[in-house]
Amino acid sequence: MECPHLSSNISGAFDSSRFPNGTPSSWCCNVCRSNKSPWICLTCLMVHCGRYRCDEFVVNDTKLGQVQKLREHLQSLRNLGNTCFMNAILQSLSNIEQFSCYFKELPAVALRSGKTAGRRMYHTRSQGDNSVSLVEEFRKTLCSLWQGNQTAFSPDSLFYAIWKIMPSFRGYQQQDAHEFMRYLLDHLHRELQYSRNGASHPVSPQDGVRLSSTDGKCCTNGTASVVTSIFGGILQNEVNCLICGTESRKFDPFLDLSLDIPSQFRQKRNKDQEPVPTCTLRDCLHSFTDLEELDDTELYYCHKCKKRQKSTKKFWIQKLPKVLCLHLKRFHWTAFLRNKVDTYVEFPLKGLDMRGYLLEPEKSLPGSCLYDLVAVVVHHGSGVGSGHYTAYGSHEGHWYHFNDSTVTLTNEDTVRKAKAYILFYVERTGQVKLF
């Protein structure tokens, strides 16, 4: 159909009170009476059927080609059986332009040239089928996400590659999206180390960061990849002995920061109690970096006292990453099960200032500590082994909700109200130089 209001409403603010009665799921197309994917003109309120990339919905376009851009850049992912945890992470990573563009522009030929070294690495580490290239399957998936097909893309090849390389994710049970992201980035990083032009790429020790496959912590090995160049930061861990005052410092590279939701915000109030104040992302960051006295189960071994002593611990950020990934620790173990912290955490969409958490803020470039939100992963439900994952992503000034095979345009207010599980912030200034 021709829409005469397209130019004025393509990014449109609207008054929801003017909508037809009932929820959007109950609307029907005014022409064919279909209730699948209903669309409404924000000016004349006519309901028609269609999707973002469906040419039968809108045949005209704005002078800037905004409808065509939507068709080209919005692609949904098929759920292969409780694989929403993977889909939410893939959609989030695809919306990080610096990261996804690297893989999309990476020629398959270049991967094959270094595959021999990569295969030796997988064989010696006993990680399953050594003929599988996770980087290549990841690249193909990202390219498919940006082709703009009308039907949902099925990431089965990538999923089966993950099965072979990461045995803990075999099967169709629900998995933790954060744990999956850590494993995925770890394996992408290690394969890229061995496949870049057939050899490893040496860089300064400060920039070489990788994830350990054993405990999920970071260590330095002197070799970088696009993963560590984009997500890699460094923490300084200070421990002080409360008996003799001896200070111990060490640097801990990281690809993401896991933040506790402070206990004072988790309380459920009764009818007669005052409401619990709103928890903010800054509260979680302060809790992570504040000075903490270690309890008796975490006594620090003081090399001067030659024994375990009471001590304090504090984290500083020594180096901020290009993309700051913040994981809110919503799942915690009790005596018998793993509970979910359902507390709402308020977070900024623009201008997250990390300067106050830096070890030496005076040495940072102007504006380099400001971050803007680009993606959010949300867990819906009560337990880590159940529920559902979706993602919000920002693209060309608009926010979209990625729910497996459904992609819908949304707004900033809806994103702000989400109970975030993983937040992806991109450094505001400058272009990312990978190597």
pLDDT mean by block of 10 residues, the chain; 435 residues:
53 50 64 65 61 42 58 72 93 92 74 42 39 87 76 86 90 90 94 63 38 38 83 91 84 94 78 78 93 80 85 89 96 76 95 89 74 96 83 92 91 96 88 44
Given the residues 49, 84, 302, 369, select the one marked as catalytic.
84
pLDDT of residue 66: 57
What is d(CA 28, CA 77) in angstroms, rounded to the nearest whole number?
Answer: 25
What is d(CA 82, CA 241) in angstroms, rounded to the nearest whole number?
Answer: 48
pLDDT of residue 295: 79
pLDDT of residue 238: 87
pLDDT of residue 290: 87
- Given a contact cutoff of 8 angstroms between Cβ atoms, the answer to whether 256 and 325 are in contact is yes
Domains of the chain plus CATH, in order, are 1-73 (no CATH), 74-427 (3.90.70.10)
Residue 84 annotated to the active site: yes
Given the residues 201, 286, 380, 388, select the one marked as catalytic.
388
Residue 388 annotated to the active site: yes
